[in-house]
Every structure is written in structure tokens, then in C-alpha cells.
Amino acid sequence: MLIDPDSHLRAPQSAAPLRLESDFDDDNGFVKDPVAFFLSDFDPDFWSEEEKITFEKRYLLFPKQFGKIAAALPDKTPSQCVRYYYLTKK
């Protein structure tokens, strides 16, 4: 029995049909209620006096470790702490 050594190089007789539709549903950045989102009174960049004092105390304990500093501030993220640090740095 002879086997063609080039048989794996030949194209298949039938190709799978192309799939033109997509099942990916991108909802990245979706806001359910944009009016409430953009017109809310909450300002994430507002720092109360208590938050400022807590930030300063935690900064003295953990210099530039903004994750540890933010852990003591329930409404602040590490990136907000970084921003506050550079805005108030003297």
C-alpha cells in the first residue's frame, strides 16, 4: 500500500463556513441611569477634614503605600489617594 507523503499539504475538500455574526456583547462603560450618575451630589474628589487627617496619619505610617492608606479610607481608592497626595504636596 502506497501512502502519499504530501497528502497533509493538500487543502481539505470542504472548509468550515465563515461565521459572520458575533456573540460578544460589550457593555464596558455602560451606565444604567446617566442622569443620576452625572448629576449626583457625590464628588469623589472631595476630601472631608476627617479624611485629610486620616490620610496624613496613614501617610506617616506608610509613606507612598497608597493601597494601605486607602484601606483606612472607606470611600477612597488608592488612585484617589495618589491624586490627593500630588495635589496637596508642598
Question: What is the domain-level CATH number for residue 78?
Answer: 1.10.10.60
In a domain, 72, yes or no: yes
Q: Which domain holds residue 81?
A: 47-88
Sign of CA dihedral 56, 57, 60, 65: negative
- What's the chain's Rg over C-alpha atoms? 29
In a domain, 10, yes or no: no
Counting the structural domains of the chain, the total is 1
Residues lower than pLDDT 70 in the chain: 1-2, 8, 10-17, 22, 40-44
In a domain, 76, yes or no: yes
Q: Which three cell numbers stand for residue 63?
A: 509613606
pLDDT at position 35: 83
Predicted TM-score of the model (pTM)? 0.54
Q: Which of 80, 87, 81 is nearest to 63 (CA)?
A: 81
Q: Which of 41, 40, 60, 57 is nearest to 49 (CA)?
A: 57
In a domain, 18, yes or no: no
In a domain, 42, yes or no: no
CA-to-CA distance for 66 and 73, rounded, in angstroms? 11
